[in-house]
Amino acid sequence: MSFPDGFLWGSATAAHQIEGNNLASDFWALEHVANSRFAEPSGDACDHYRLFRQDIALMAELGLNSFRFTIEWARVEPEDGFHSAAAIAHYRDVLEACHAAGVVPVVTLHHFSSPNWLMKLGSWEYAGTPERFAAYCRTVMTELGDLIPYVCTINEANIGRVIRRIIAGGGEGRRAPVEQAPVGLGDGPVEAPAARADEKVSGGQTIFLSAFTDEAFDVITRAHVAAREAIREVSPNSKVGITLALQDVQALPGGEKAADAVWAELFEDFLPAMAGDDFVGVQNYSRIRVGADGVAPLPEGAEVTQMGYEFYPEALGNVLRRAASAGLPMMVTENGIATDDDARRVEFIRLALDGVERCLADGVDVRGYLHWTTLDNFEWMHGFKPKFGLIAVDRATQRRTPKDSARYLGAIARRNALG
């Protein structure tokens, strides 16, 4: 495989899924209510908050040169208006560990979880959230921006649109009955986690994943624009973008108009907010086929993952070509597979990268490939059962064991670094 100099090779994570003990977050609250829909609480997760140096060193040892991780809003601002100097110092340590190891940090400032206090104000349907989010981003980037070359404001800003469409359609892609738990287009859940009264956090509000009204779309897109402006003011050398969950939307005969509508809802409606961004993060896991009657069932005999998706790594190249219409450089900020069969993960990576390589050969501007995910982690409502990681984690001891897929991706990265 041949990739350009400076191409980012790495893996992606989310703070709540790996750090552990995210006590001030909305997800922590939801995991601990009576009759929670979460399979289990996150607890210590992968204890990455303590073991980050070990994890970064292991990634570098494997040959990866980039690491996408979250600076967790609920840790930096656990109470409205109070910014934790200790949390900021911690993330400075993480960033410095990356640089010391020769690993380029790609920082996400919001990855699904929010401070619990935001719920009392109305969450991502509250008109004042963009101002508060931008203020948090300004604080982080004022303190740490000189260490952050790439920053994603909001992870999967379109996930609410995805959820609304799925709820209205009665299910995601009419999945095979392998995995019936609700899932999204990326690695997260689709069903509104706070749908029942006993699962709502204080104030009766729901969370980012449940914010799928038109008001929420306006709040989220305004929050991105406000955050971008704040970041540009205090850290002008940091490249700013957003990430979107994008399936390969394929039209069956008679479904062309419906498929176009799905793509517009997932991607094109966000173009005005993305105008002026430095890049877009593309997150892809599979495809959906859309016919005259809506989303079609999975093909007969299709291989499905632990999350119920069709095994279809060819989707990534298709999505990159289509998303190139935004006119922005692209970075694959998530792409992966939930499986206990690591040989299938190796094959998934191989076929996905074949697609990326063909895109590059045709002039499509792709700057990096960050695999989802670094460690077998807390997979939101599914708990720890789905295995997306390049590195296995023994949760009793927190011992890390790289899989063959980690060595495979790292070897590709090394070969390309050597030219």
Among candidate residues 103, 68, 115, the one with its CA nearest the CA of residue 370:
68
* Cα angle, residue 56 at apex, residues 51 and 57 outer, rounded to 5°: 100
What order of strands is seen across the sheet that includes strand 287-291? 248-251, 287-291, 294-295
Q: Which of 156, 179, 334, 379 is catalytic?
A: 156
Distance CA 199, CA 197 (A): 5
Which two tokens mark 419?
């030219």
As a whole number of Å, the CA-based R_g of the chain is 20
Rounded to the nearest 5 percent, the helix, strand and coil shares of the chain are: 40, 15, 40
Coil, helix or strand for 331? Answer: strand
Contacts of 36 (CB under 8 A, 6+ apart): 30, 199
Cβ(202)–Cβ(120) under 8 Å? yes
Distance CA 350, CA 356 (A): 10
Distance CA 334, CA 285 (A): 8
156 is catalytic: yes
Cβ(152)–Cβ(108) under 8 Å? yes
Residues known to be catalytic = 156
